[in-house]
Amino acid sequence: MADLDLRPLSLGETLDRTFTLYRKHFLLFAGITAIPQLLVLALRLAQTLFMTSPAARRNLPVEQLQAGTSNGLLAFGIVGVIVGLIVYLVAYLFAQGGTVFAVSDLYLGKSTTIGASLGRMRGQLGSLFGVILLNGLAVMGAFILLIIPGIYVACRLLTCVPAALLEDLGPRNSLERSFGLTKDFAGRAFVIYLLYFVLAYAAAFLFTFPFGLAIALSAKNPEAVRMWFALSHVGEFVAQVLVSPILTIATAVFYYDLRVRKEAFDLQFMMNPSGPITPGAPGVARTLS
């Protein structure tokens, strides 16, 4: 945003600013998400290429089966799953962190690029992984109690990723920071989550459901199944690139709105625009409804 506009926002303004940032800088956010996700797509396409259908395994020579071909395929599959999880996790962390850094720069009136945003994730992967892991454990623990507490905890922890990256906090401190910032504002976080899930399911239905249907209809044709599987991975990649930045952008915008609303971050930034983004001093907080 060329004209810096740091002020408390309504829920509608938060969402409007999210989509304005996304629309004006679509190539930036799509690129930040797409580049790491290309690794995931390449791995999934490779797995699909070497996928052996049950029908094909039945046609293997008996000697190969007796030599342990099935065990080899099983071991290959397990290794593939582990590698896939690692690649997906790294891609997810880079996309999340790069998007948060890009939103921060744009929101504070600075310019940025895909390379610069992703480059700022160097040295941050371990810390961000800890934040995501601890966040997931906290939400899962709350869901064990009941669904409502789980949703509430997830809403209160929505801003833990921007807090961790922009304030250089550790996993535990970032969760505590998010809990403090979102006090009395869990309802807004819930609406952000709800909007994202609606868009995510709509994109999945549009870009992956048709290929899933084609896979079911082509069950007796292994080559066709392999082709539809590959296309479904491409569709999933497109849906991910288009939709996943929206939640991260909204989360970062929401984080800054809470900072402005509760800590007068706009005044802090005006006094020291080049200074670090640190938690506001207790005496600076403003009272706003």
11-31 pLDDT, tens per residue? 999 999 999 999 999 999 999
Q: Tokens at residue 7, please?
A: 């002020």
Find, among 170, 244, 258, 142, the residue nearest to 201 by Cα. 244
Whole-number Å distance between alpha carbons of 61 and 56: 10
Q: Amino acid identity of 277? A: I
Residue 101, CB-side half-sphere exposure with 13 Å CA sphere: 23
Own/partner contacts of 234-237, CB < 8 Å, gap of 24 or more, are: 234/41, 234/45, 235/207, 235/208, 235/210, 235/211, 236/204, 236/207, 236/208, 237/34, 237/37, 237/38, 237/40, 237/41
Contacts 24+ apart (CB under 8 A), 211-217: 211/235
pLDDT of residue 268: 62
**Neighbouring residues of 15: CB distance < 8 A, sequence distance ≥ 6:** 191, 192, 195, 250
Task: For residue 260, give its domain range.
Answer: 11-284
Q: Tell me the one-letter amino acid at 132.
A: I
Neighbours of 8 (CB within 10 A): 16
Contacting residues for 77 by C-beta, under 8 A, at least 6 apart: none
| Band of pLDDT at residue 53, cut at 50, 70 and 90 | very low
| Banded pLDDT at 137 (limits 50, 70, 90) | very high
Structure-model confidence comparison of residues 288 and 215, the more confident one:
215
Do the domain assignments include residue 162? yes
Predicted pLDDT at 272: 55
Q: According to the model, what pLDDT value does residue 264 have?
A: 77
Per the rule left: phi > 0, alpha: psi between -120 and 50, beta: everything else, 170 is beta
The reported pLDDT for the residue numbered 222 is: 85
Residue 5 placed within a domain: no
**234 within some domain:** yes
In a domain? residue 123: yes
For tokens 């690029």, what's the residue?
Answer: 113
| Average pLDDT score over residue span 182-199 | 96
Which helix (H) or strand (E) covers residue 22, if one does? helix 11-24
**The pLDDT of residue 256:** 93
Residue 201 lies in a domain: yes
What is the count of structural domains for the chain?
1
Q: By percentage, how much of the chain surpasses pLDDT 90?
A: 58
Considering only 24-28, 71-75, 85-89, 137-141, which range has the smallest mean pLDDT?
A: 71-75
Quote the pLDDT of residue 251.
Answer: 97
Could you give phi then psi for residue 288, rounded to 5 degrees?
-140, 145
**206-232: per-residue pLDDT in tens?**
999 999 899 888 888 888 888 999 999
What mean pLDDT is reported for the chain?
84
Q: Using pLDDT thresholds of 50, 70 and 90, give the confidence band for residue 139.
A: very high
Kindly tell me if the per-residue pLDDT of 57 is higher than 50.
no
Pairwise CA distance, residues 60 & 176, whole Å: 57
270 within a domain of the structure (yes/no): yes
Evaluate whether residue 4 is within a structural domain: no
| pLDDT, tens digit (0-9, with 9 covering 90-100), for 245-283 | 999 999 999 999 999 988 877 566 655 555 556 665 444
- Residues 147/61, Cβ–Cβ less than 8 Å: no
Residue in 102, 94, 122 with CA at minimum distance from that of residue 35: 94
Residue-level pLDDT at 84? 78
Does the pLDDT of residue 68 top 60, yes or no?
Answer: no
What is the structure's pLDDT at 266? 59
Looking at residues 126-131, what average pLDDT do you find?
93
Give the per-residue pLDDT at 99: 96
Residue 66 in this model has a pLDDT that exceeds 80: no
Q: Domain for residue 137, yes or no?
A: yes
Q: Could you please report the per-residue DSSP string of 222-265?
A: HHHHHHHHHHHHHHHHHHHHHHHHHHHHHHHHHHHHHHHHHH-H
The predicted model gives 29-47 an average pLDDT of 92
